[in-house]
Structure 1
Amino acid sequence: MRVMIQRRAIAVAVVAGLFGASASAATTITVAAFPALDAAVKAAIPLYKKTHPDVEIKLVSLAYGDHHVAMTTSLATGANLPDVMAIEVGFIGKFSESGGLEDLNKPPYNAGQYKDKFARFTEPQATSASGGLAAIPTDIGPGTLLYRKDLMDKAGITEADLTKSWESYIESGKKLKAATGAYLVASAADIKDIYIRSGLKDGEGIYFDKAGKSVVDSPRFVKAFELAKAAHVAGVDGKIGAWTNEWSEGFKRGQIGTQMMGAWLAGHLSTWLAPNTKGAWRAAQLPNGAFASWGGSFYAIPSKAAHKPEAWEFIKFLTLDKNMQIEAFRKLDAFPALIEAQNDPFIDQPIDFLGGQKARQLWKVAAEKIPAIDVDKYDSIAQEIVNAELEKVLEQNKDIPKALADAKALIERRARRR
């Protein structure tokens, strides 16, 4: 009887060991993302499983704003944390200083060895004040000017007229409105948004200096507000907010002549915003020789994630695998952060939506010239406050220096509270 019990115990132990090994081998990692980055993750899953059959990947996708609110709450509470967290560049400063993400510069990650593989301006965006690396870049948004060539031709406007200077750009808007009825820009804020991101040097920030002091009352912001107001007074802005139904309809109906944003917007226009305008658009560099980054995405690992080794392997596949980066480029027009992918022949292919233009070559040039600017954990707060003050300048004729002084005071007050 004792021998039988011992044999049964051994058998149970063996079976338990087998099931335990199976359970540990079949690891499920959770990836939290947002549209359209979630499409890149979906494309990656079957490719990744070919070499990692024992890793299941669960994708949780929320709308852009909801995702970042949810991740902010999860980092603060330590609950409902994914293994891989997608972060848009507008939130990277805040999240990198949260203390809730793994420092990928440290072992076992040692991500510093990959620094030179990515566009040079990306890593500083994800680096905390203490020097820790909070996330790895996956795509970037070289700023570009997308314009309706058919409308410009009708108004007798050349690409050089649009890009020579900001003043020439606004003057072109007057001609465009008179000849076609179309607005130059959806919103005057678009001009401000690009201007405050251009002309920066490596190590400078958009809203704050290296010491964390607000710089929103600087000449850069004054000029940005002046240009936005000039466009508004000239009547060449449609007073249309980005990502609204009116914005999409403006593109579809030819009511908006240009849009300055990240290069990825061309993909959005072609797939869902205004596919009916295929062939009418062209891309150019930003006015006045400006080079700026607009958008970009990163992947991070929460410090309390359950499956960090598996998460890191998947992040490396998403960001360091050239074929995967090109796959996302093809599917989403998400310009790759990986330099090796930027040098792929795909860059030289014509884009049908842009009338056969080889626009990716322009965007590659822009990516090489974008400065490595600093981000701050209060950038999103500063952006919100500056936008509110610009609205007062445009709609209530508030004095520009007064508006920027008020913005600076409120930013500093909000920062102190936090």
Structure 2
Amino acid sequence: MPLSRRTFLAAGTGAAVAGLTGCGSRSSLGSASELTMWTWVGSVNDDLIGQAEKGIPGYDGLKLSMTRIGSNYKTKVLTALAGKSLVPDIVAINDDVATYFPNADQFHDLSELGAKERENDFLAWKWKLGVTPQGKMMAYPMDTGPTALFYRSDLFEKAGVDIDPAAVAQQAPDWDSYIALGKKIQQAIPGAAITDNVNSVFAYRMAQQPQRYMTADGRYLGDQDHVREAFDLAIRVVREGLSANAQDGSTDADAVVTNGRLVAFNAAVWWAQLGPKNAAPKTKGNWRVAAAPGGAGNRGGSFLAITKYCKNPEAAFAFISWLESAQNQAEAFLDPVLFPSTPASYTDPRLTAPDEFFGGQRIVDVFAESAKKYPGAYFSPYDSIIGDQLSAQLVIVETGGKSPDQAWNDAQEQIERELTRAGAI
């Protein structure tokens, strides 16, 4: 299922990309005395934004005007770009940054605004994710989503497992030993699970891989061994009885954390807040974090981009580089818990303070190591199309609807149809 470089560069995410060829007056949103910015709730630190709303650092008389969009964020950004009117100066972009690459002509090349001088301040793999296959730096790094193993120390202790994070990491350095550890815990705690559902295993195993579904020149990899290995691993965890079968977005997703059934979970740093701190506050002090089985990984993380309609690109770049400095990324880790892409932040006292929810552990050390060791992988504009089809088939296997081989073959056939429909092949 090869993709030509020509179709890869020309195609995008279907109709949304086609819409960017529309007509309209070219104008940015807001007055000449302000820089406008769109983002979503929970993507930036409010105190830092409040400072910029009083004045952009280094630019007297210029202020930030930020809008938080609650739903359909990406659609609204693409619609504004398509109309070429009332386009914000700055937009936040989620970890699907590659889906914007076919529209790179709608954004400034940040390397021309001085980004190269700041490259060494960031994790190399994170920096590369914002650069198009043609070498244009379209998006500036914000946060990351390094992964680690969360576990209930009280339940591990009940099962006779050494609860020291270094000892846990040594007992489960890979997924095979993690499965064996899960089976041991089940002997003491019947029904104990080491993942919430089949797709989490697949997603987090893929998050550890040095390659994903496509190459930068458009070659399809979604049918190769590293993907099949993650696919089969997810099914194996389910068949070993180690999945809680709690699907994302369901009431069960919180319940298995609250009731203690989910005794361990290989997840991204943001799950600390989304999972135990939110769903099981009474378990404060009982959680710990260790290096993840299977190695370092990353899932999530955002970017900032400056649209080509920006009224003052130099000021906009000065603002985003200030906002995403090591000092300010450390501030954003406190609220809204965004893990920095700047390694200098990892020794900031605001990050290294003991976390009482995790028994006083300095959890930043574990996630920092994961962030630094993550091998990095190329994300293509079509990753969501490919990943969604594989994930859908895994759910069918989890519920007993298909054999793994049939589900794999059906996923590949559906991916080919979807990529054809998207104009990728």
Say whether residues 1:196 and 2:206 are aligned partners.
yes
Offset of 1:79 from its aligned partner?
Answer: 4.5
- The code of the aligned residue for 2:286 comes to A
Q: Deviations over 1:6-50 (max 9, x none)?
A: xxxxxxxxxxxxxxxxx977x222222123214x2x221233336
- The code of the aligned residue for 1:28 comes to E
Instruction: Give the one of 371, 377, 380 matched to 2:375.
Output: 371
2:258 alignment counterpart: 252
1:147 alignment counterpart: 151
How far apart in 1 are the matches of 2:185 and 2:106?
49
* 8 Å Cα contact 2:277/2:284 also seen in 1: no
Offset of 1:395 from its aligned partner?
Answer: 2.5
Q: Deviations over 1:54-99 (max 9, x none)?
A: 3333332234x6222322333333355322211111x101012323
Residue 293 of structure 1 aligns to a residue whose secondary structure is: coil
Say whether residues 1:383 and 2:393 are aligned partners.
no
Task: Report which stretch shifted further, 387-396 or 261-270.
Answer: 261-270
How far apart in 2 are the matches of 1:81 and 1:246?
40
1:323 alignment counterpart: 327
Q: Deviations over 1:255-289 (max 9, x none)?
A: 2112222112223346534332211111111113x
* 8 Å Cα contact 1:183/1:256 also seen in 2: yes
Residue 37 of structure 1 aligns to a residue whose secondary structure is: coil
Q: 1:145 to 1:345 in 2, by over 3 A?
A: same
Offset of 1:133 from its aligned partner?
Answer: 0.9
Say whether residues 1:157 and 2:167 are aligned partners.
no
Matches within 5 A, 1:3-402: 27-38=33-44, 40=45, 42-48=46-52, 49=54, 51=57, 54-63=61-70, 66-89=72-95, 91-107=96-112, 109-158=113-162, 159-160=168-169, 163-180=172-189, 181-200=191-210, 205-269=211-275, 272-288=278-294, 290-320=295-325, 322-396=326-400, 398-402=402-406
Based on CA coordinates, which of the two structures has the bigger radius of gyration?
Answer: 1
- The code of the aligned residue for 2:285 comes to G
Residue 128 of structure 1 aligns to a residue whose secondary structure is: coil
* 8 Å Cα contact 2:92/2:303 also seen in 1: yes
TM-score, normalised to structure 1, is 0.84
How far apart in 1 are the matches of 2:160 and 2:207?
30
How far apart in 2 are the matches of 1:310 and 1:101?
18
Moved over 6 A (4+): none
* 8 Å Cα contact 1:43/1:328 also seen in 2: no
Q: Deviations over 1:191-248 (max 9, x none)?
A: 1112122241xxxx31112332222222212221222112111222111123443212
* 8 Å Cα contact 2:306/2:316 also seen in 1: yes
Offset of 1:337 from its aligned partner?
Answer: 0.8
Q: Deviations over 1:111-146 (max 9, x none)?
A: 122211101111221111211111101111111111
How far apart in 2 are the matches of 1:389 and 1:210?
26
How far apart in 1 are the matches of 2:264 and 2:187?
15
Task: Report which stretch shifted further, 235-244 or 372-381.
Answer: 235-244
Q: Deviations over 1:146-205 (max 9, x none)?
A: 1111111112234247623312222332343443333221112211112122241xxxx3
How far apart in 2 are the matches of 1:160 and 1:117?
29
* 8 Å Cα contact 1:266/1:333 also seen in 2: no
How far apart in 2 are the matches of 1:302 and 1:389?
38
How far apart in 2 are the matches of 1:361 and 1:342?
8
Residue 295 of structure 1 aligns to a residue whose secondary structure is: coil
Say whether residues 1:415 and 2:424 are aligned partners.
no
How far apart in 2 are the matches of 1:285 and 1:412?
36
Offset of 1:355 from its aligned partner?
Answer: 0.6
1:406 alignment counterpart: 410
Q: Which runs of 5+ in 1 are unaligned?
A: 1-22
Q: Give the number of the structure whose residues are more often helix, by fraction.
A: 1
- The code of the aligned residue for 1:164 comes to P
How far apart in 1 are the matches of 2:346 and 2:126?
14
Residue 332 of structure 1 aligns to a residue whose secondary structure is: coil
Q: 1:68 to 1:341 in 2, by over 3 A?
A: same
Q: 1:386 to 1:46 in 2, by over 3 A?
A: same
TM-score, normalised to structure 2, is 0.82
- The code of the aligned residue for 1:97 comes to P
Q: Deviations over 1:306-364 (max 9, x none)?
A: 453433222111112x3211111122332111222234244432111111111111111
How far apart in 1 are the matches of 2:39 and 2:251?
23
